[in-house]
Structure 1
């Protein structure tokens, strides 16, 4: 939980940077249309739906149900891959490049920060899934599933905040 607290602080600082830059710019987003809502909203729905297999997998791990943990880990990976695939299109629909202006830098930094966390957790989920399929299995591995789910929930909650800032903050 300490890691999540530290990373929450990083996200909070990044969001404060966005609003600081916004407060010092007469037009926000300057010279650009706000990002298209379609890809970001689709990714938000995917993220919210991904909580279901994470909850399922965590519950299976608490019961030491190897078969269901394996199924759940695969489902969690599918959601992570789906989110990353949509994220590629989402970057293209931001209507700004990272080096266009302060707005572009702020948006790309928030998106990049979240994408980095997503890739990290997807990799962690993949490694954990491989361990559950190949062994050796110890009771500790089941606890790792709970920790993985907790971190995924952090990624989901942080995305909701970033979605609100990037997609709706630009429209206010």
Structure 2
């Protein structure tokens, strides 16, 4: 990834040369999808193909991001590149907003329209024992009055989800402090609070892991627990995945800070990760109210 630019000169708009990385990353993802498809169908080599694809993909990403970091630290990125990065991150977060909006929409439709519709007079002839209530936590109160959905308990807001809410809100505060510290050229303070944010994100994931264990073992709440179970794990699970991705972003930004990267004037890597993390915080607040309280 290179351009014909004199050494030490910032180009008007840096355009990298042809790169092998998109093709190599696609090969890794191909093995991930192929292996996953075979794995769910019981083929013995499926898990190994998934592992191979993930390792391949991660190695390619390390090389790809390493080159991008080298370009940035070499002074090849002008203010115009910075504007492009900001627009790209903004559109990416917008796509994530739409991603979660579809899941919130599925929960809304199931709860407000689908379940009540199944309990009307027309459907009563087909399912006379059906009770159109939410959450559908027991046989006779689900879309399977015959009892094909096992009885389960719902996940309330206390204590685990509330603890996770406090963890995420605190992490948003520590990240904001870190950002302002870098803008004031207080690098040590910035690094300290960035590590605090990463640790809080990791604790959130551990607590959510315990929440899922509690749901499966103590509440018998599973992905197969009717529409409630599927929407619960769909929303909280994808959010947990986004927390994991955001935590990795913050981790690598922190490691770069320790190497002396970023300045008070130029640090969009940190800003972009902060935008993403605050987006994750906002989504969780929506989940906390809609999934756990309502």
Aligned residues: 168
Does the residue aligned with 2:279 lie in a helix, a strand or coil? helix
> Which one of 158, 179, 203 corresponds to residue 58 of structure 1?
179
Higher mean displacement: 42-51 or 107-116: 42-51
Counting only pairs closer than 5 Å after superposition, residues 91-130 of structure 1 correspond to structure 2 as: 91-94=212-215, 95=219, 96-130=221-255
Structure ID, larger Rg = 2
Higher mean displacement: 8-17 or 83-92: 83-92
Taking structure 1 as the reference length, the TM-score comes to 0.89
Q: Report deviation, 1:16.
A: 0.8
Take 1:102 and 1:151, find their aligned partners in 2: how far apart are those partners? 29
Does the residue aligned with 1:97 lie in a helix, a strand or coil? coil
Q: Report deviation, 1:63.
A: 2.2
Which residue matches 1:85? 206
Which residue matches 2:98? 9
Take 1:76 and 1:167, find their aligned partners in 2: how far apart are those partners? 24
Which residue matches 1:166? 291
> Which one of 89, 96, 111 corresponds to residue 22 of structure 1?
111
Taking structure 2 as the reference length, the TM-score comes to 0.54
**Are the structure 2 counterparts of residues 41 and 167 from structure 1 closer, same or farther at C-alpha, using a change threshold of 3 Å?**
same
User: Can you list the C-alpha shifts for 1:18-62, whole angstroms capped at 9, x where unaligned?
Assistant: 121223121222123331321001111111111211111110122
Does the residue aligned with 1:67 lie in a helix, a strand or coil? helix
Q: Where in structure 1 are there 5+ consecutive unaligned residues? A: none
Which residue matches 2:272? 147
Q: Of the two structures, which has the highest relative contact order with CA contacts closer than 8 Å and spacing of 6 or more? A: 1
Does the residue aligned with 1:75 lie in a helix, a strand or coil? helix
Take 1:99 and 1:151, find their aligned partners in 2: how far apart are those partners? 31
CA root-mean-square deviation: 1.7
> Which one of 156, 181, 187 corresponds to residue 36 of structure 1?
156
Displaced runs of 4 or more, over 4 A: none
